[in-house]
């Protein structure tokens, strides 16, 4: 099997249609959320500048912030569900018999996407609706503030699906005194609600990609739902977090994105794993 990372710049539907059946043990995608907005994120760099700095830091030293560039994409579609369904059909086709599909969506689209996946795979293949909950950002004054995304897990065959229980990371008990010293020391396994902060705008993990997801979320999925040496696919790869999670845990990864900006971010972020970069020149498949 071997391990390695391949980064493909391509229109994902055209690329998927050239992939053999049963090629991947795990497919993880974070498609556009169809918010109707332009998604933007500036890449910033803070540099020391005693003469022209616009703010003061530790020890009274002066700093200024430089804009290194901006990543953006239009998160709107005329027919979002047709766009997504065509790609999900291919995602199901390329799974191995033990394979799993994880689809990360927001609460506005999650119920539509779940019905779509029930139709494609069968309701019996639905395993979990995972709620990724976070507590960051502005609060609404007109409704309960939305602070979660939805991750849908489907297995091609629920009886054979890979689920490495012993590799689940454990989390602290909220009331450790009630469970005893031994259990408190070991921690508990997460439920289908995952509390994880978003990528900090000033953290080391940040790449500047507009929709970057936390590495901890992808590492949990990769560790539990694939075996070392197996192949993981993300065809909405963005900043390459799925590939980084796979590489860190001994899996192979194929990352597909049509954006030159995404290609640059992934190549830089995964440089230590010496990724193979492929630029596919096939015509774009519409829809």
DSSP string for 258-283: S-HHHHHHHHHHTGGG--EEEE--PP
Question: Both tokens of residue 167?
Answer: 């590799």
Per-residue confidence (pLDDT) for residue 121, from 0 to 100: 98
Contacts of the segment 187-191: beta carbons below 8 A, 24+ positions apart: 189/165, 190/220
Q: What are φ and ψ of residue 174, in 5° steps?
A: -75, -25
Contact 33, 112 (CB under 8 A): no
- pLDDT of 247-257, one tens digit each? 999 999 999 99
Q: What are φ and ψ of residue 27, in 5° steps?
A: -120, 125
The structural domains of the chain, ordered by start, are 5-36+79-279 (3.40.50.150), 42-75 (no CATH)
At 156, is the secondary structure helix, strand, or coil?
coil
pLDDT block averages, 10 residues each, the chain of length 287: 85 97 98 63 57 62 56 62 96 98 95 97 98 90 95 98 98 94 96 92 79 93 98 97 98 97 95 95 48
Per-residue confidence (pLDDT) for residue 159, from 0 to 100: 97
Per-residue confidence (pLDDT) for residue 144, from 0 to 100: 95
Say what the pTM is. 0.83
């Amino acid at each position: 099997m071997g391990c390695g990372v391949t980064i493909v710049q391509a229109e994902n539907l055209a690329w998927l249609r050239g992939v053999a059946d049963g090629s991947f043990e795990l497919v993880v995608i974070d498609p556009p959320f169809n918010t109707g907005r332009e998604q933007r994120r500036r890449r910033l760099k803070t540099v020391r500048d005693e003469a022209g700095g616009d703010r003061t830091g530790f020890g009274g030293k002066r700093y200024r912030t430089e804009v290194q560039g901006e990543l953006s994409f239009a998160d709107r579609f005329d027919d979002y569900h047709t766009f997504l369904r065509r790609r999900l059909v291919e995602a199901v086709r390329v799974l191995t018999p033990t394979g799993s599909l994880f689809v990360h969506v927001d609460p506005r689209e999650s119920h539509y996407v779940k019905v779509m996946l029930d139709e494609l795979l069968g309701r019996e293949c639905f395993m979990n609706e995972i709620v990724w909950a976070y507590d960051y950002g502005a609060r609404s004054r007109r409704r309960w503030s939305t602070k979660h995304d939805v991750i849908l897990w489907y297995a091609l065959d629920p009886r054979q699906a890979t689920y490495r229980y012993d590799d689940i990371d454990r989390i602290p008990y909220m009331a450790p005194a009630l469970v005893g010293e031994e259990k408190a020391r070991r921690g508990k396994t997460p439920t289908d609600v995952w509390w994880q902060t978003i990528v900090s705008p000033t953290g080391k993990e940040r790449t500047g990609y507009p929709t970057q997801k936390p590495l901890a979320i992808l590492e949990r999925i990769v560790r539990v739902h694939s075996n070392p040496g197996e192949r993981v696919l993300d065809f909405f790869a963005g900043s390459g977090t799925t590939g980084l999670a796979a590489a860190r845990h001994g899996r192979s990864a194929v990352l597909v994105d049509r954006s030159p900006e995404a290609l640059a971010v992934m190549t830089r972020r995964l440089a230590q794993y010496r990724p193979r970069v492929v630029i596919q020149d096939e015509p774009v498949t519409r829809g």
